[in-house]
Amino acid sequence: MSASTIVADTASGCHILKIDGYSHTKGTPTGQAIKSGHFTVGGHRWCTNYYPNGHTSDSADHVSFFVVLDEKVFKTVKFHGQIRFASLVTRKRPLTSADPLNCLTTGHMWGYAKFAKREELERSEHLTNDAFTVRCDLVVINEIRTEDVAAVGVNQFVTVPQSNLTQHVGDLLKSEKGTNVVFEVCGETFPAHRCVLAARSPVFSAELFGAMKEGSGGVVRVGDMEARVFKALLSFVYTDSLPETEEEDDQAGSMFQHLLVAADRYDLGRLKLICEEKLCVYIDVFTAATTLAMAEQHHCHGLKKACLEFLSTPANMEVIFSESTPKALACYAKKRSGGTLDDSPKTLQIQILGQGGVDQHGPACLSHVPVAWRKASAGPGQKFAVIDDAQLLPHRVLN
């Protein structure tokens, strides 16, 4: 007996593109694209073209998005593709082989000429604070080959299914069968299993079995946490995944912030990283400062880098200076320097006097400040601070 296998070698990836300042892009003529940064999937270089007023006259009342194969190739690249609002990702199914197969060569593009009608977009939940985010998912088919199977035995008659352990453990939480501890959070109670919690979290282990063991008759009261957050945390402990949510964008962002804090509290590293990744999508001029402060407090290095990258863009800073965000950044800067900005040896202050003028304070030199920012203007009482002689953060003088 002989056998062979047809193997489709695939690679998948996604790119998040945020349109921040949507109203300012509406002056772009029909047929003119704004290009995203490059990203790599399946060994090929791609980018996304955004047409604020449509790709052609037929789609002039829509916004268009297209994926471009932005490299020179000598054969057709086959892939499955999908472009969606990022807020809909958790509500729709992922790409599968059932989706249409697309083919591209150098310089060609694929996408949606009528991705969304502008009128509907401007009334929708997806446009918040003059910004919206789209996600491009690609599954690239690199090679389809046939492999011979050297020896065929009884295993060809046996198919081993995927593990469903997390489903069974999750059902254990839902059924409450065998629970032996109850958590009380904001008046709500959550039965659970001590051994499961202890196996997943060293903090739970210490609380339930170690020196910190609670002695209140099987009821553990949890403070400084919302019931919905603790419920989501328990669900992750039992299933190793986040529960599906239908919350709006701003509510979902707030939920991930609270869940990250809870994950750090109970030393659930994977959950903390998942929340970090999710929160990177929600960084904007209104959330960047508070998210940065939270990332610093809870040692979220990836999220912190994402915030600082966002804040390093002069266009974003210009909007931030017109909002109340600098006050939150000042709180971050004060915390970072271990007290007040004025007495910190790690802080360089630069008073912005007006268009192109600066008054330097402190021992460090002006070369630490990006050239584009030396020419920035600011209102009365606004300053720049260089934290640890490296990161530039704006702040207002706090009374």
Q: What is the pLDDT at residue 5?
A: 80
Residues 275 and 335 grouped into a single domain: no
CATH of the domain at 196: 3.30.710.10
Q: Is residue 331 part of a domain?
A: yes
Domain count for the chain: 3
Q: Is residue 90 part of a domain?
A: yes
Residues 22 and 141 grouped into a single domain: yes
Residues 185 and 98 grouped into a single domain: no
Distance CA 82, CA 15 (A): 11
Q: What is the pLDDT at residue 223?
A: 93
Predicted confidence (pLDDT) per residue in 144-170, tens digit: 777 776 655 555 678 888 889 999 999
Residues 176 and 213 grouped into a single domain: yes
Q: Is residue 299 part of a domain?
A: no
Q: Is residue 30 part of a domain?
A: yes
Distance CA 275, CA 294 (A): 12
Residues 111 and 22 grouped into a single domain: yes
Q: Is residue 107 part of a domain?
A: yes
Residues 118 and 187 grouped into a single domain: no
Q: Is residue 254 part of a domain?
A: yes
What sections of the chain are H helices per DSSP?
Answer: 22-25, 118-123, 165-175, 194-200, 202-208, 227-239, 249-265, 269-280, 288-297, 301-311, 314-321, 325-336, 371-374
Residues 264 and 373 grouped into a single domain: no
Q: Which residue has the tokens 């702040």?
A: 395
Length of the chain: 399
Among 280, 315, 339, where does a domain finish? 280
Residues 135 and 246 grouped into a single domain: no
CA 328, distance to chain mean position in Å, is 21
Q: What is the pLDDT at residue 325?
A: 46
Residues of the chain with pLDDT below 70 are 1, 89-98, 149-156, 211-217, 246-250, 320-399
Q: What is the pLDDT at residue 261?
A: 96
Residue 261 in tokens: 């804090």
CATH of the domain at 12: 2.60.210.10
Q: What is the pLDDT at residue 95?
A: 62
Residues 135 and 178 grouped into a single domain: no
Among 146, 173, 188, where does a domain finish? 146
Residues 140 and 15 grouped into a single domain: yes
Q: What is the pLDDT at residue 151?
A: 54
Instruction: With CA atoms as reference, report the closest residue to 293 among 244, 263, 341, 336.
Output: 336
| Domain boundaries, position 198 | 165-280
Residues 121 and 16 grouped into a single domain: yes
Residue 376 in tokens: 């920035």
Concatenated DSSP letters for 333-373?
HHHHTTS-STT-TTEEEEEEEETTEEEEESSS-GGGS-HHH
Residues 190 and 228 grouped into a single domain: yes
Predicted confidence (pLDDT) per residue in 19-76, tens digit: 999 999 999 999 999 999 988 888 888 999 999 999 999 999 999 999 998 888 888 8
Q: Is residue 316 part of a domain?
A: no
Distance CA 22, CA 193 (A): 49
Instruction: With CA atoms as reference, report the closest residue to 16 among 125, 69, 89, 109.
Output: 89
Q: What is the largest CA-CA distance in the chain?
A: 85
Residue 159 in tokens: 């198919």
Could you tell me what percent of the chain has a pLDDT over 90? Answer: 43
